[in-house]
Structure formats: structure tokens, C-alpha cells
Structure 1
Amino acid sequence: MVHLRDLTVTFTGGSKPVRAVSGVSLDVRRGETVALIGESGSGKSVTMRTLLRLHPERRTQMGGTARVAGRDVLALSGRALADYRGKVASMIFQEPLLALDPVYTVGAQIVESLRRHEGLDRAAAHQRALALFERVRIPSPERRLAAYPHEMSGGMRQRAMIALALACSPQLLLADEPTTALDATVQIQILLLLRELQRDLGLACIFVTHDIGAAVEVADRMAVMYAGRIVEEGTVRELIHTPRHPYTIALLQSRAHGAMARGTPLPTIAGSPPDLAALPPGCAFAARCALASDACRAAQPMAVQFSPTHQARCIHTEQAAAMLAVPA
């Protein structure tokens, strides 16, 4: 469903070009969920938005290969791009209050999408929107269709955003941190809903999150991004139980867990991510890595394959595995 090879995204609007995505390669099969995890600024959302071509065209340079359902996304333009968005790939944004138009009711926005892509008349589109609201378990769906975004709670808006994303039966669902602004109980409800919908509809899904626990709930595979690159990729079990990149291990160790003694300080990753406008020639994580050597700083490490599904870009994978101290 998704085939990325050496995808690059560079923003040129500032004083210096910013390479936000540097050679990302990723495949997602039909019916599969892949989670992208990493710190803010690692390139997760930029990669997602590239799959919908949402970056400003004049200030963005894109290279490599990006194919979705057989379509060359980087070559789409005009009517073909408009037909692709929503019908082939759609997105659940992080903050639905900003993604939904505040001057139209939520129902009107879903009806517009259905009329544009499905060719339905207004009455049929309204009935379809009502069925979508019932599917995502919005109470009093008829009344909520007539509500404006600001009149709905955060969890309800996110469900409406999911309904809008699914309105035209897309083949690929892009979920950009859909639970970040929600409280813990609502987060769980949204995660369970996404997992159920993905399974029932057979969608391919890319799920962006900071929360490894959320990724474990919904994903089949995980890809860890740092400074615009995928530094480790594997199944959820492989990355949780046998991570091989120091950054993945540091992310796992930075999580609170039940085995921690009361009063124990939470481990942190020292330093800050690098400036994407001045990336170092070698491994971008070297300045924060306890295992870094001169070889790490001199050139980008090649991917080391551990299984057909598990690989990591690091020359110290054996030492990284030895320093692992993450409870199961």
C-alpha cells in the first residue's frame, strides 16, 4: 500500500535549507498498522504530510520515491491530487479543533466531502454522515451533526475527525498523534476505536505517536525516527524486547513503569536533537550517545539486519544490546 524509498523533504523558505526528512524508506502492507515514534522534530509528521502533499509547494523540495496504492504521490497535481486526498489516503490530525473549519457545522464538512468524492446528493450524504457518527460511537449523532467544532468536547471532536477521515472509504489512514490532547480515559477509548475500525475495514495505517505504550496497543510494526531518519524498524515485539539502537533503548528507559521504585528519578536522554539546517556528517544521535566513537561521527551508519523484519542503523548494536536494562 505504501512504498517509500529514500524520501527527502527540504524546506527552503528560511535563511538556510532545512532537511526535515533524510532518506526515509518504509513499506506498509494492506491491513497493517505501522507506528512512527520519536521526539518532536524527528520528521514523523513531515513524512505523514508528504503522503498527502500538504507542504507549501514553492518552499518545499521533495525527492525519492513515494507511492501509495500504486500512485506516484510526488507527481500528482491538480484534479488527480484532489481526488487522491480523502479517497485514497486521509488523515486524522493531532488537534481537530484546528483541523475542522470553525464556521461550518461538523456535519456540513462531512457532507461536503461525501458530495465531492462520492457524488452523493445532499440527503444521501447526510444519511451517510449520520451512519459514520454512529460507527464512531458519537452519542445523539443527529444533534452532533448540527454542532460546530467548538460546541463539542475534545474526545467528541476527535471521533468526528475520525468519521471525516473515513467518510470516503480511504485505503490508507494517517493518524498524526490523535490522542495527544486527550485525557487518559478518552485516549484509551480512541485507541480501541482506531484498532477496531482498522481491523474491520482492512485499512493500512501509519500511526504517529510519542507514546510507546500507545504504539504497542495499535501497531504491528514500529519505526523509530531521529533527525529525519528511520534509525530502527521492526515488529512491536522486536523493538520492545530486543531493541538494538541506543536511541530506541533510551526512549524505552525514559518511560515510567511498574518496576520503578518509588522516588526513583525518571531517566532522561541528555542533550537536544541536532539542528536540521546543519546536520552532522555522521550519526545524528552521536552527540547524545554514550557509545559514540569517531567512526560514528565520520559517516552515516549502514543498516544492520537482525531478522527479515528488524534492522537498525548503528555500528554498536552489540554494545547497545548489552546495555539494555528495560523491564519486560
Structure 2
Amino acid sequence: MTQEKPFIDIRDLTVTFTGGRKPVRAVSGVSLSVKRGEVVALIGESGSGKSVTLRSILRLHNPDKSKLEGQIVVGGQDVVKLSDADLSSFRGKVASMIFQEPLLALDPVYTVGEQIIEAILRHESIGKDAARARALSLFERVRIPSPERRLDAYPHEMSGGMRQRAMISLALASHPQLLLADEPTTALDATVQIQILLLLRELQRELGLSVIFVTHDIGAAVEVADRIAVMYAGRIVEEGTTRTLMRSPRHPYTRALLKSLAHGNVAKGTRLETIPGSPPDLSNLPPGCVFADRCSLALDSCRQSVPEIIKLTPDHSARCHRTDQTAIAV
């Protein structure tokens, strides 16, 4: 039986920002694949390279101040090699993004409806009335109350939750196959966060979308993702199915993230564990394992050589010299 090709296949992606005094390698040799209809979460602390990886898929970084190396194949197209004209068509129609802060992503001088209609007209040869009807249908699908009236509202006239729903409508306007969600619930209160997560999962299943979901909240990742890739200092340090990573994490950083997660088994009054220290300076990475200085299992050898990705099972891999010491369920 021929194995299904992934819809998105990233190989050895490296992103270096060159606009400062020293080059900063924000992403270093990342490889990641996503099947059709699959949800993969990228998790890790701020500065781990999650959003940089996501934005690289749409080539949103300033080419004059950054260098992108590697291969990003989406639906058979190598995004790195696309011309400006092809890239314009690719954005929105093949892949689209839900940004972290919709108030900044949406243009304040146009109504939300006008912006969605413009996105539809850019990719499809239909009339403005038909585009407005599509925008209205999208608002109804994401459950925005009084959708006809909200189409004519400006971004600042909507609540945070409604703006994020409008952002999801904009991302879905041209029937993309790949949805990139960049911390879409961070700026929302807990109740609205849950509503948005449930909505995203429902839409993903209904439309058969491939999704890459970026978050620093491992609890949110568990709710929506089929697989999780853990990033640290620009590298993927562990990857596996959500069930596997929750039950048997094999990288000390993954274990530390799970230990810091509040859940039903934590006794009242118990202090959650924290990860000592801080992530390394990406412009001056230490030799060896980048997590060694914060790792309780680190040996001298960990600080001397960069660990390779070890394939533990067909669906589980980790970048650690001591995977034999970390197979402990959380």
C-alpha cells in the first residue's frame, strides 16, 4: 500500500534574521509534515520559533532582513520558490492564517465586511453582491450574532471574541486547504478561548482542513491537536501523537511543560513545577543541547554535542541524548 503524501512537508527549515547587530537564527533545521485533514500543534515558550515557522509557510518575513533556507512544500508547491504573483495566489486560496491579535491584523479604516469581500474578490471571479452573501454566510457559520449588522461594523466596534470569529471568517473566505492559527486564543478570556477552540475544531472537521496550531498553552494543544511538535530555541525537540506525548514524554523539556500544567490530579494547595532558568540567546547558542543548562538530567556530553532526532516509534521522536532516562509518564 502506498503511503499518503503529506499535504505540507517542511524539510530542514532555517530562518535567520539579519537586520540587527548580530544574525539571529530563530529557526534551525526544522522538519515537519502535516497530512490532509490533520491538526498539528506547535508548542513551546515564547521565542522558541513557533510563530517564525508558521509565518515562513506564507513567506511573511521581510526578505531584506531575513534569510530562509530549506524546503516548504504545500500541496505539491515549493513555497520557497514561488514567484511574487504565484505567492499572492497561494496566500488565502491554498493557505491562510488566523493571527494572534485581530485588532492589529484587521484594517481599522475599513469595515470587517469590506475586508472579507475584498479577500473573496481577489481570488474568485464573482460579483460584489455574491461576495457579500458569502461573507454573510461565513459570519453565520462562525456564529457571530446579528451577522448582517456586524458585516458593516469596524474592527474596534466588535468585542475580542467577535473580532477573532471575524478573523476566522476572513481566513476561510477563499476556501483554503491549510489553516495556520498563530496563538488565536491568547488575548481572550478563558470562556471565549474555549468557544474559539471548539469552533476551530468543528470547522476543521467540517471542511477537512489541515491545520497548524501554534500555542504556548499545552492544555489548548491537547484539546485540538492530533499530533504535537514541541519546539525549544528554534528546534523541534519532540514530536508525536497527542496521546503519546501526554502519556509518555521522552524529552525533559516536554516533561517540564506537562508538569507545569494544572489538571484534575493536582492536589489543592500544591505548587505547580516551573522550569528553572531562561531560554538561550538565539544569536549566541551554546554548543551541544540547547536545553542542557535547564535540564536536571544533563551530562557533560550533553553540552558538547547536539543530539540527533531519535525515532522511538513510527509516530514518536525526540532530540535527546538520554531518551532512555525520560520515558516517565506525567
Specify the TM-score bucket, using the shorter chain as the normaliser: over 0.9
- Residue 145 in 1 paired to residue 151 in 2? yes
Give 1:72-151 correspondences, 5 Å limit: 72-151=78-157
Runs (5+) with no aligned partner, structure 1: none
Tell me what 1:65 maps to: 71
Give 1:1-328 correspondences, 5 Å limit: 1-322=7-328, 324=329, 326=330
The amino acid across from 2:236 in the alignment is: I
- 1:286-321 per-residue CA deviation (whole Å, 9 max, x = no partner) reads 010011112111111011112101000001112122
- 1:64-120 per-residue CA deviation (whole Å, 9 max, x = no partner) reads 111111111111132111100000000000000000000100000000011111122
1:264 CA drift (Å): 2.0
SS of the residue aligned with 1:143? helix
SS of the residue aligned with 2:68? strand
Please tell me the root mean square deviation across aligned C-alpha atoms, in Å. 0.9
Give the TM-score of the pair, scaled to structure 1.
0.97
Give the TM-score of the pair, scaled to structure 2.
0.97
**Greater Cα offset, 181-190 or 235-244:** 181-190
The amino acid across from 2:138 in the alignment is: L
Do the aligned residues in 1 keep the contact of 2:229 with 2:239 (CA within 8 Å)?
A: yes
Tell me what 2:4 maps to: none
Q: Percent identity?
A: 72
Q: Distance in 1 between matches of 2:269 and 2:287?
A: 40
Do the aligned residues in 1 keep the contact of 2:12 with 2:69 (CA within 8 Å)?
A: yes
Q: Distance in 1 between matches of 2:266 and 2:194?
A: 23
Q: Distance in 1 between matches of 2:201 and 2:98?
A: 14
Q: When the two structures are aligned, how many residues end up with a matched partner?
A: 324
1:273 CA drift (Å): 0.2
The amino acid across from 2:153 in the alignment is: A
Q: Distance in 1 between matches of 2:96 and 2:30?
A: 20
1:257 CA drift (Å): 2.0
- 1:225-256 per-residue CA deviation (whole Å, 9 max, x = no partner) reads 00000000000001000000000000000112
The amino acid across from 2:170 in the alignment is: L
1:28 CA drift (Å): 0.2
SS of the residue aligned with 2:143? coil
